Amino acid sequence: MDKQYLSVQEAELLLRACPDADARRYVALSLFAGLRSAEVANLRWEDLVGQSETFACQGKGQPRCVPLTANLMVWLQPPTPAEGPVVTDAAAHKVRALLGNLKSAGTHALRTTYLLCCLALHDPEAAAQSAGIGQVQEASHTALPIGRADAERLFSLAPS
């Protein structure tokens, strides 16, 4: 069975296994900002550079505001000049291949990991708003597979 999310250890391994900055940016945008594949594909450097706390991203639906953390910017490593697409189409193919090695269900496992970590750190409303989810269902009494300490560790991962 394919995994629907990554452990913090698997997420770190994935980030470190990325063959280039392009693939690493794709993973960072999904894992640390919860971007959907379409949002990653549509993101341009002009949307990020010069922003301080949030940035707007456009996917299939309405644009949404996404938190821009210092950690995310470190992973993105903006080029000079920072213009054009943040990732190329080839990045998604590279990331899918790496996720296949982890027996993951695909690129949506990155966003699911992000959501689980947000839920471990915040209330469901805040997590849903951060992820651009319209409605929040009533909270389940099931324990989350990612705890607060692991979520904090994930969001503090830094490039070496």
The verdict on residue 127 lying in a domain is: yes
The verdict on residue 60 lying in a domain is: yes
Please report, rounded to a whole number, the percentage of residues in the chain having pLDDT higher than 70: 94
The one-letter code for the residue type at 83 is E
The verdict on residue 1 lying in a domain is: no
Model confidence, pTM: 0.89
The verdict on residue 3 lying in a domain is: no
The verdict on residue 104 lying in a domain is: yes
Q: What is the pLDDT of residue 81?
A: 87
The verdict on residue 72 lying in a domain is: yes
CATH code (residue 19):
1.10.443.10
- 78 vs 101: CA distance, rounded Å: 28
Name the maximum alpha-carbon separation found in the chain.
Answer: 48
The verdict on residue 134 lying in a domain is: yes
pLDDT higher than threshold 60 for residue 96: yes
Query: How many domains does the chain fold into?
Result: 1
For 8-29, what is each residue's pLDDT tens digit?
A: 999 999 999 999 999 999 999 9
pLDDT band of 41, cuts 50, 70, 90: very high
For 105-122, what is each residue's pLDDT tens digit?
A: 788 899 999 999 999 998
Compute the C-alpha angle 90/91/97, nearest 5°: 95
* Domain coverage including residue 131: 8-155
Whether the Cβ atoms of residue 6 and residue 113 lie closer than 8 Å to each other: yes
The verdict on residue 86 lying in a domain is: yes
- 114 vs 130: CA distance, rounded Å: 10
Whether the Cβ atoms of residue 105 and residue 3 lie closer than 8 Å to each other: yes
